[in-house]
Amino acid sequence: MSSFAKDFSKAMSQAGTSQFQEAIRQELEFSMKVELDKILSTAPQNEIEHTKKDLEGFKKLFHRFLQEKGPSVDWGKIQRPPEDSIQPYEKIKARGLPDSIASVLNKLVVVKLNGGLGTSMGCKGPKSLIGVRNENTFLDLTVQQIEHLNKTYNTDVPLVLMNSFNTDEDTKKILQKYSHSRVKIYTFNQSRYPRINKESLLPIAKDVSYSGENTEAWYPPGHGDIYASFYNSGLLDRFINEGKEYMFVSNIDNLGATVDLYIMNHLMNPPNGKRCEFVMEVTNKTRADVKGGTLTQYENKLRLVEIAQVPKPHVDEFKSVSKFKIFNTNNLWISLTAIKRLQEQNAIDMEIIVNPKTLDGGLNVIQLETAVGAAVKSFENSLGINVPRSRFLPVKTTSDLLLVMSNLYSLNAGSLTMSEKREFPTVPLVKLGSSFTKVQDYLRRFESIPDMLELDHLTVSGDVTFGKNVALKGTVIIIANHGDRIDIPPGAVLENKIVSGNLRILDH
């Protein structure tokens, strides 16, 4: 069958062979259907219904994958968004809040994307269960934030977690600890799709199980899957029937993504009387964000363009901070009734992200994914809001973790805010080397988290440890060469210093 895939790609590159292309395409779709039917036939009785929904969803995605050719945007059609389509946050905030903020909040559902594992930080299990501050995990902080909201305004804002098959079991176990908190917590699972062999374009799974040797045969298809999964779970209808109107979606590892009363008020009480169905929070790019997806105007609609969709000759232009000044934070506010309408019309259009992977045994596979923000063009009256950088505080690495654990931030009711003692609002640039990648190694190397209030830039490489009560200021670079070790002594103050070579402090 692998010759089909080769013929297919060859055919796609030859003009004037549309009949041949179509024949190949149909052949591939037929072979896929046969394989998926075989997989479905292995499902136990109680799993048939949702396995069928998953495989149907995958079939649609695969069909679209076979139709699309090359980069999905025509660069010539990309324009800067019109002035009024991206509003400054200050303007939204200046409108103030109504007396009845509780009635506005009661229309809200908070959804956190909780499908990811902590593997990139050397942790087993869901990423949301990693401790980030005073023993609190991402999930603890999220629950504390919403509980604080519900207590302060006497509201009933629920928390919904979109889990994946990788995180569902562990997350549900831990949820019992919040049973007495003032937050109703719901979960639903994103779909489980089969990875396909890069050569044959057929599933590598032989049956429906995803344990043992079959673990690598399945994947969660990106957060764009939220619309269909939320709809299929029954939760969307439930919340609409309860009178909820909007959901606020964000990544659970973005500690800046808290419920913003001014944005929620803007949604419920728009100044022009016309409600937005979709709001994307964007923020100004820095040099560290050049790869982030950006909002553009495309065929008279707001459209999210990701770096993977950009034709090669234009990648540098896409990265330019002067031309595309903003990027998507993935904090999104979306109308529930609009999701229901578009889902029922099968009208949510998201570009396919083709994600190639090499499995442990060396097999090359691809997984087809979509991104939640890409649906912006399917909704009516979409809006971008240019928010302060403080609403984008993702923890992807231990370098990020060092920032949020430090005295740069103070913690109040689950929310992190930049310390008033820091004289300028920018976050220092921190780069910790590979000895710090895993959370447990990182924790072992710091006896206590250094004072970083006056830090601009920190680079650490090699075998380095930090004693208690170290202060780092200005630009600090610490490099232990291979075979050397550097112990920064307790109480040391490093200001605009480069430390290299071998510095061992031994007790005698």
- Residues annotated as catalytic are 396
Pairing of strands 471-479, 455-461: parallel
**Contact, 403 vs 409, CB < 8 A?**
yes
Residues 6+ apart with CB under 8 A from 382: 85, 276, 277, 278, 279, 280, 301, 302, 376
Burial of 177 (0-12, 13-18, 19+ CB in 10 A): exposed
Q: Which residue has the tokens 């409600």?
A: 275
**Contact, 243 vs 389, CB < 8 A?**
no
Distance between CA 227 and CA 230 in Å, rounded? 5
In 10 A of CB 298, how many CB atoms? Answer: 17
Residues 6+ apart with CB under 8 A from 100: none
The secondary structure of residue 450, as a DSSP letter, is: P
Helices (H), 43-202: 48-67, 89-94, 101-105, 138-153, 168-175
Burial of 347 (0-12, 13-18, 19+ CB in 10 A): exposed
Which token pair is 211?
């344990």
